[in-house]
Amino acid sequence: MEAIFYLENRRTFAEHMNPGELAVFLSGELLRKSADDDYGFWANRNFVYLTGIEQRDSILFLCKEEEGYTEKLFILPPDAFEERWNGARIKPDRAAEVSGINDIRYLEEWQSCLADTIRKNKIRSVCLDLDHKEGRRNWNGADWMKQYIETGYPEMKIRNSLPILKKMRLIKKPCEIEALERAEQITKAGIVAMMEHSRPGMYEYQYKAEYDYALAQHGVLEPGFSSIISAGKNNFCIHYDSYRGKVADGDMVLNDVGVRWDHLVTDVSRGWPCNGKYSERQKLLYECAYRTSQHMFEILKPGIPMPDVDKMIREYNYGQLKEAGVCSSYDEIGTYMWHGGAHHIGFDVHDMVSAREAVTEAGMVFCVDIGIYHEEWGIGFRLEDNCLITAEGCRNLSADIPRTVEEIESVMK
């Protein structure tokens, strides 16, 4: 992304602020794994969305004034000893080039600068990115800052900035679509590599190795999220990530994988027989999912309430399964469809956007995900593609990844 992308995001966010309001965003800090070993650092996605900076212990201030706003970015100072062990830290000129922020300061200044900003600008409210998804708090970021401000400035009003950002991230800009398109190409390389090397007797971790190797050839050193690669009975664990199973002849292989490119991440699922030839029952179920997917890409367009998308997928797939003789009543659909059929992607694989109350409009990107799980037959898989809503309809961003029975069997010959 160019710096203008982040600059425009900050400008848009500031338009939703009130004069006399300060917004604070944190990249996060390292989390200890054990002893002196840390987990790999993962920057807060909203911080990255606003700055492009992925370095730990960085802080962004946006201060709304009567006319316009000011911005400051705090980064770690140079430290020869730390950098010898852990790599170079981003320098002020580079941080300014990436983010488009001109006022770059070192981290030790943030507390005094906070106090000065509150006093000089008569700040009455602080916006923090408070993400309490599923009741879980993040003490690595905004919750810690909230506690600091409430202790030091007890009269200060705290406002959650997450609703603003969720609306902003709902519609993707052209540069984000370009990044997704590149990510789809690399995702294809990884999935095709697994198909081409597939054979009975492989272990799931060997499929994963083929996928990871293909990504690395394109400069992608880790997947966009924890890859789900399973076979046989393991396909009935929706978020399976053990990779220890051995594939028996006739098993279906399920993958649910993605690539992150320039911060944007794909999410694509395919299911194929490890031996390269669908059995009668596998083909029956797979084509139910495929016809449902094709139907959705034919009808999706601007103006559809997002909650209806899941319902439409479920109802159409039920019709396919009923016609195939798999179920006779809609009351039975929960036996074979275990999860929703549409979630947004972007800076997160389950993107933090305001989707529940949204109506589809151009620039939205979400998954069309049809999962069928027939435990009695031992067949479980999902067919998941990435849908871009356009002004006239929609486009399947992952359409080039083999998805029909004929395309998949041809790759696996």
- pLDDT tens profile 43-86: 999 999 999 999 999 999 999 999 999 999 999 999 999 999 99
> Which one-letter amino acid corresponds to residue 258?
G
Give me the domains of the chain, ranges plus CATH numbers: 3-168 (3.40.350.10), 174-411 (3.90.230.10)
CB within 8 Å of 149: residues ≥ 6 apart: 126, 128, 156, 158
Task: Tell me how far apart the alpha carbons of residues 311 and 296 are, in angstroms, rounded to a whole number.
Answer: 11
224 closest CA partner among 269, 181, 266, 193: 266
3-class secondary structure, 238: coil
Residue 243 tokens read as: 């990779």
CA angle 93, 99, 103 (to 5 degrees): 60
Distance CA 235, CA 254 (A): 6
* CB burial string 55-70: b at 16+ within 10 A, e below: bbbbbbbbbbeeeebe
3-state SS, residue 133: helix
Nearest partner of 229 among 213, 249, 210, judged by Cα: 210
Please list the residues that pair with 159 across neighbouring strands: 127
Please report the pLDDT score of residue 127 as a whole number. Answer: 98
The CA-atom distances, in angstroms, between 160 and each of 20, 126, 163 are 15, 8, 7
Sign of CA dihedral 292, 295, 301, 304: negative
Coil, helix or strand at residue 381: strand
Give the per-residue pLDDT at 357.
87
Complete DSSP assignment for 57-82: S-EEEEEE-SSSEEEEEEEPPP-HHH
pLDDT given at position 139: 63
- 125-128 and 21-26 beta bridge pairing: parallel
For position 179, what pLDDT does the model report?
98
| Closest C-alpha to 280, from 242, 245, 317, 324 | 324
10 Å Cβ neighbour count for 51?
29
pLDDT of residue 19: 96
pLDDT of residue 54: 97
pLDDT of residue 52: 98
Assign 368 to helix, strand or coil.
strand
pLDDT < 50: residue spans in the chain = none
What local confidence, expressed as pLDDT, does residue 161 receive?
A: 96
Residue 136 is predicted with a pLDDT of 72
Report the pLDDT value the prediction gives residue 141, as an integer from 0 to 100.
Answer: 83
